[in-house]
Amino acid sequence: MNFLVVFFLLLIYIIGIFIKTKTMPIMGLSVIAQKRYNIIHDCIKNHRVGLNSNNNYPSRHDLKIAIDRYLERAYFDGLSETREISIDQIDKDIKYLKTHKNAPIEYVRSEGGYHYTDSDYELDHPATIEELDYIKLGLELLKQHKFKSVSPFFKTAIEKTLFGYTLDFENLLVSDQIIDVQFDEVDNGDNGNGLDWMKEIYDAVFWKKCIEIEYKRHHQDKINRHIISPYLIREYNSRYYVYAHSNIPNKRALFAFDRILSITKKSDIPFVRLERGFNLSNHFSHYYGVSDPIGDKPYKIELEVTNAYFPYLVSKKIHPTQKTIEKKRKNINFKYVQIECFISRDLVNKLLSFGENVTVKSPKVLVDRIKKRLDKVNANYK
């Protein structure tokens, strides 16, 4: 709960900054161009440099990485015809900012990068790209947890104050979502959940940089080294995970923060990009939990629920895909719940937690797994 309160307060603070400043768009420019100018300003103003830089002067290469990060998302969403920017275009954008927006940009040859000669200069708005990411995260936390009744207030405020960013409220909630959040009612505290790695992993996701992690699974003595290309951070049941491509084996997987022993930057290793058409925001929509799914497609899972337990299951859904079905057998109405998701260890554990109140009717592969688990439980009590 403390985690949610922190972001709730952070959201209020950031919105306060917006409301104090009237933001207007740069009229006559495309959305992509405005975003490029905003990113260049943010990098120079806030000294955003690459992970392997030793100074506070962003170079052309640093600006290219930051802009490419946005263009790749826009490319997948069909908003941009290209996923990369050329160095020549960066030079043109800097020239535009200097001549049309009076940006006091200066190249410092000894540092190999840019800075503002007037540190107080602002480009039409006071918010940074990183602050926008925090707004998205804060809204997602509010939307998914217990503050749903507050969300309309923030919707109105944000629609007004973010006008200059050519963004809309719905896109804040669904596109470029860095963290996908699922909450559990049990608060186990923050001890031992690997939050110490959050900044390093977040930076690697933001800048699309490879990192090497030392990783030790629970109940195993062996320590493995993975070079990963991280795509997003995911929270489930008060634990944090990074979804990334790993060189060992050559595939994508979730890595738990609390099993990471060390992180080393690997900026010299090429980042493995997602293939075009891969929808990162919807990838986990048919997952339950974070354990590896069984099979390569989700199942339609049918559950029979006792009459006494049915209202509880309706009010507290197992999965977002849940829907109610009524069936008649021997003139008696039976209540069923159907969900569509991958079968996983986490899902089996959840279904077993309902005891005699919920019976899995299909598919057979899940019924068989439940039976095997129950046989082992029964054996423990013989």
For residue 299, pLDDT over 90 is answered with yes
For 257, counting Cβ atoms within 10 Å of its Cβ (0-12 exposed, 13-18 middle, 19+ buried), the class is: buried
Q: What is the pLDDT of residue 6?
A: 54
Q: What is the pLDDT of residue 207?
A: 82
User: How much is the pLDDT for 35?
Assistant: 85
- Report, as an integer, the average pLDDT of 309-316: 89
Under CATH, which architecture does the 179-280 domain have?
Roll (2.30)
Give per-residue pLDDT as tens, 168-186: 333 333 333 334 343 443 3
Token duo for residue 375: 């046989």
Beta bridge partners of 336: 304, 325
Q: Is residue 139 very low, low, confident or very high in pLDDT (cuts 50, 70, 90)?
A: low
pLDDT in tens, 88-106: 999 999 999 999 889 999 9
What's residue 174's pLDDT?
34
pLDDT: which is higher, 281 or 10: 281
In one-letter notation, the amino acid at residue 340 is E
Confidence of residue 133 (pLDDT cuts 50, 70, 90): low
Put simply, whether the predicted model's pTM sits higher than 0.75 gets the answer: no
Q: What is the pLDDT of residue 262?
A: 94
Cα angle 257-262-263, degrees, rounded to a multiple of 5: 85
pLDDT of residue 180: 38
Q: Give the H/E segment covering residue 342.
A: strand 332-343
Please give the distance of CA 207 from its chain centroid, rounded to a whole number: 14
Provide the CATH number for the domain formed by 294-380 in this structure.
3.30.70
The per-residue pLDDT for 325 is 83
* 144: pLDDT strictly greater than 80: no
Q: Return left, alpha or beta for 53; rule: phi > 0 is left, psi -120 to 50 is alpha, else beta.
A: beta
* b/e per residue 131-161 (b: at least 16 CB within 10 A): bbbbbbbbbbbbeeeeeeeeeeebbebbeeb
Q: Any residues with CB less than 8 A from the CB of 176 and at least 6 apart, and which?
A: 73, 133, 136, 281
The per-residue pLDDT for 177 is 36
Helices (H) and strands (E) in the chain, counts: 11, 12
Of residues 47 and 148, the one with the higher pLDDT is 47
**Closest CA relative to residue 338, chosen from 357, 314, 354:** 314
Which pLDDT does position 354 carry in this prediction? 93
Three state DSSP letters for 236-300: ECCEEEEEEEECCCCEEEEEEHHHEEEEEECCCCCCCCCCCCCCCCCCCCCCCCCCCCEEEEEEE
**For residue 140, pLDDT beyond 80:** no
127: left (phi over 0), alpha (psi -120 to 50) or beta: beta
Whether the CB-CB separation of 73 and 175 falls below 8 Å is answered with yes
CA distance 220 to 215: 10
- Predicted confidence at residue 75, as pLDDT, reads 78
As a residue count, the chain comes to 382
Q: Under a CB-based contact definition with an 8 Å cutoff, are residues 232 and 178 in contact?
A: yes
pLDDT digits (tens, 9 = 90+) for 39-87: 899 889 888 876 555 678 999 998 998 898 888 877 776 777 788 899 9
29-38, 51-60, 85-94, 307-316, range with the lowest pLDDT? 51-60
Cβ partners under 8 Å of residue 275, min gap 6: none
Mean of pLDDT values over 309-336:
83
- What is the average pLDDT score of the chain? 77
Confidence of residue 38 (pLDDT cuts 50, 70, 90): confident
pLDDT tens-digit series, residues 255-289: 999 999 999 998 889 999 888 888 877 788 888 88
Asked if pLDDT for residue 338 goes beyond 90, the answer is yes
Domains of the chain by residue range: 1-24+131-177, 26-116, 179-280, 294-380
Does residue 238 have a pLDDT over 90? no
Give the pLDDT band of residue 359 (cuts 50, 70, 90): very high
